[in-house]
């Protein structure tokens, strides 16, 4: 059930029907209302979608709490300073997380609806057929439709997985008792973030992954993060195959096979599955209605957000691409504008930033070195470890590195990735650099404030042509 009442949804006809009341759905509905369109927003379940309810908001507040514990314990890196912190009440921490979620859901979703006269809210499970959109047995008459139903955690193909009590990124943050031990399956950003969070609050964590940690990241970034996770006491096992998972006397038993053929069984109280998310398309009747799906089950769309069925658009996680809340909102806005104004706007993710909220944080934008080479570029790279960045030296925390990729022929920047304790906010500088076609030389000549993490980007840009270890603090 949702936490708000239905608004009047009894018009004869709407300009736009938006299916899904999460971040993408609200973005589409608000955009359309600002165009003075009449919109019906169709929600099913808890209003607000993944990000505010079970994704970004709850996980990041828990991660920050774990960082607070770690920061106190790490205070001894400064001579003459010592500190200690401990988790006094897991239940109180979970309750505070729930309170934040409830507050933001109310302020950023429920309370917004009355501010837009053009949006009617309708609660019910939607289905598409030849008559249009069906909700609660009735037909919603709308000129255009946007599908924005999001995604849900998916299960890996491990024998026995359907027969065990597993956790997902949603249910793990609802536990009322702190786990003694946990196996985290999946080395993507969700697996890494939650593995580190649980380890820092006192759970014995083993992180297992078929390939490597953050497989889409630069190898140097992946290797560095693997080391930092191990420093937090996490057992990281990568490059393996899953053979079987079963209940055991002590909880869960996961049988794995390493690349050298050695087999091992890992035992833990809980297992958290973080191997990706699947688009929520199964109950919408899309194939029968003439909406093509991708091989992964997402709504297949073109660069104007159009599906294969005329008048039907899709945006956000339900498409299976760029599964970040800000890209969902961006795509949904384009879908609404195109649906109402003639399909003029093109979806562009060439300068899409991404962030992993581990500690150190990991962030990137543009192409990796491997992706740039595969695209036909002759590349050059610059890597600067954080022990060359004055901010990191002053903080006595030099974990991390910065890697830039540029076109060797034109010097134009193609991509950037970084790992740094305060790195997430720095990536937007590289977003602008890529968006406006900056060269490495131009970035290296740009004035940056001293003793900031973002200054490391200037040093990395200078690193294409000189040894930055031989520069004075503010040189260049």
- Give the global pTM: 0.94
* 361 phi, psi to nearest 5 deg: -70, 155
> Which segments within 210-239 are labelled E, that is strand?
235-238
> Bridge partners of 270?
182
Q: Which of 327, 239, 370 has its CA nearest to residue 27?
A: 327
Question: DSSP states of 12-51 as a string?
Answer: S-EEEEEE--SHHHHHHHHHHHHTT--EEEEE-SSTTHHH
Q: Which residues are annotated as a binding site?
A: 60, 149-151, 186-193, 276, 317
Whether a cis peptide bond, with omega within 30° of 0, leads into 360 is yes
DSSP helix, strand, coil percent of the chain (3-state; round to 5): 35, 25, 40
Question: 122 Cβ partners below 8 Å, 6+ apart?
Answer: 6, 9, 40, 41, 42, 43, 135, 136, 140
Question: DSSP states of 248-283 as a string?
Answer: ETTEEEEEEEETTS-EEEEEESEEEE-S-EEES-TT
Ordered by where they begin, the domains of the chain are: 14-48+109-153+278-341 (3.50.50.60), 161-276 (3.50.50.60), 354-466 (3.30.390.30)
Q: Which of 132, 110, 129 has its CA nearest to residue 121?
A: 110
Local confidence pLDDT in tens for the 476 residues of the chain: 344 545 545 557 999 999 999 999 999 999 999 999 999 999 998 999 999 999 999 999 999 999 999 999 999 999 999 999 999 999 999 999 999 999 999 999 999 999 999 999 999 999 998 889 999 989 999 999 999 999 999 999 999 999 999 999 999 999 999 999 999 999 999 999 999 999 999 999 999 999 999 999 999 999 999 999 999 999 999 999 999 999 999 999 999 999 999 999 999 999 999 999 999 999 999 999 999 999 999 999 999 999 999 999 999 999 999 999 999 999 999 999 999 999 999 999 999 999 999 999 999 999 999 999 999 999 999 999 999 999 999 999 999 999 999 999 999 999 999 999 989 999 999 999 999 999 999 999 999 999 999 999 999 999 999 999 988 776 55
**pLDDT at residue 470, rounded to an integer:** 87
Q: Which residues are annotated as a binding site for FAD?
A: 60, 149-151, 317
Q: Which of 254, 264, 269 has its CA nearest to residue 185?
A: 254
Other Cβ atoms closer than 10 A to 370: 13
User: CA-CA distance, 234 to 207, in Å (whole number)?
Assistant: 7
User: CA-CA distance, 170 to 274, in Å (whole number)?
Assistant: 10
Q: What is the largest CA-CA distance in the chain?
A: 74
Q: Which residues are annotated as a binding site for NAD(+)?
A: 186-193, 276
User: CA-CA distance, 108 to 121, in Å (whole number)?
Assistant: 15
Question: 138 Cβ partners below 8 Å, 6+ apart?
Answer: none
């Amino acid at each position: 059930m949702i936490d708000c009442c239905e608004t009047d949804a009894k018009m004869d006809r709407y300009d736009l029907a938006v299916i899904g009341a999460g971040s993408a759905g609200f973005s589409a509905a608000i955009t359309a209302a600002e165009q003075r369109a009449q919109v019906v927003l169709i929600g099913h379940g808890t209003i607000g979608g993944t990000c505010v309810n079970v994704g970004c908001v709850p996980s990041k507040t828990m991660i920050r709490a774990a960082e607070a514990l770690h920061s106190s314990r790490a205070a001894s890196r400064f001579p003459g300073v010592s500190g200690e912190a401990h988790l006094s009440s897991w239940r109180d921490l979970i309750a505070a997380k729930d309170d934040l979620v409830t507050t933001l859901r109310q302020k950023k979703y429920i309370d917004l609806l009355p501010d837009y006269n053009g949006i009617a809210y309708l609660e019910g499970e939607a289905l598409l057929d030849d008559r249009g959109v069906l909700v609660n047995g009735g037909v919603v008459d709308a000129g255009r439709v946007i599908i924005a139903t999001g995604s849900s955690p998916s299960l890996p193909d491990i024998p026995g997985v359907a027969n065990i009590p597993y956790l997902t990124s949603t249910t793990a943050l609802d536990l009322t008792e702190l786990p003694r031990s946990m196996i985290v399956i999946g080395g993507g950003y969700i697996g890494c973030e939650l593995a580190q969070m649980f380890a820092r609050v006192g759970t014995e964590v083993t992180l297992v992954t078929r390939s490597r940690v953050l497989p889409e990241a630069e190898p140097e970034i992946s290797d560095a993060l693997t080391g930092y996770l191990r420093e937090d006491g996490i057992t990281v096992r990568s490059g393996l195959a899953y053979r079987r998972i079963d209940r055991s006397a002590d909880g869960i038993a996961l049988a794995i096979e390493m690349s050298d053929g050695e087999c091992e069984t890992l035992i833990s109280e809980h297992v958290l599955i973080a191997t990706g998310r699947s688009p929520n398309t199964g109950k919408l009747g899309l194939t029968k209605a003439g909406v093509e799906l991708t091989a992964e089950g997402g709504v297949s769309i073109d660069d104007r957000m159009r599906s294969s069925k005329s008048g039907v658009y899709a945006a956000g996680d339900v498409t299976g691409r760029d599964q970040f809340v800000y890209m969902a909102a961006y795509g949904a806005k384009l879908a609404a504008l195109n649906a109402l104004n003639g399909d003029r706007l093109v979806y562009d993710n060439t300068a899409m930033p991404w962030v992993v909220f581990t500690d150190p944080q990991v962030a990137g934008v543009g192409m990796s070195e491997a992706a740039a080479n595969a695209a036909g570029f002759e590349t050059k790279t610059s890597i600067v470890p954080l022990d060359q960045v004055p901010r990191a030296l002053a903080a006595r925390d030099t974990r991390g590195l910065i890697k830039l990729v540029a076109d060797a022929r034109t010097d134009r920047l193609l991509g950037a990735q970084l790992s740094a304790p305060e790195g997430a906010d720095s990536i937007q500088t590289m977003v602008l650099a890529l968006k406006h076609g900056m060269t490495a030389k131009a970035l290296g000549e740009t004035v940056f404030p001293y003793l900031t993490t973002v200054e490391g980007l200037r040093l990395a840009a200078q690193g294409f042509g000189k040894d930055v270890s031989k520069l004075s603090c503010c040189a260049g």
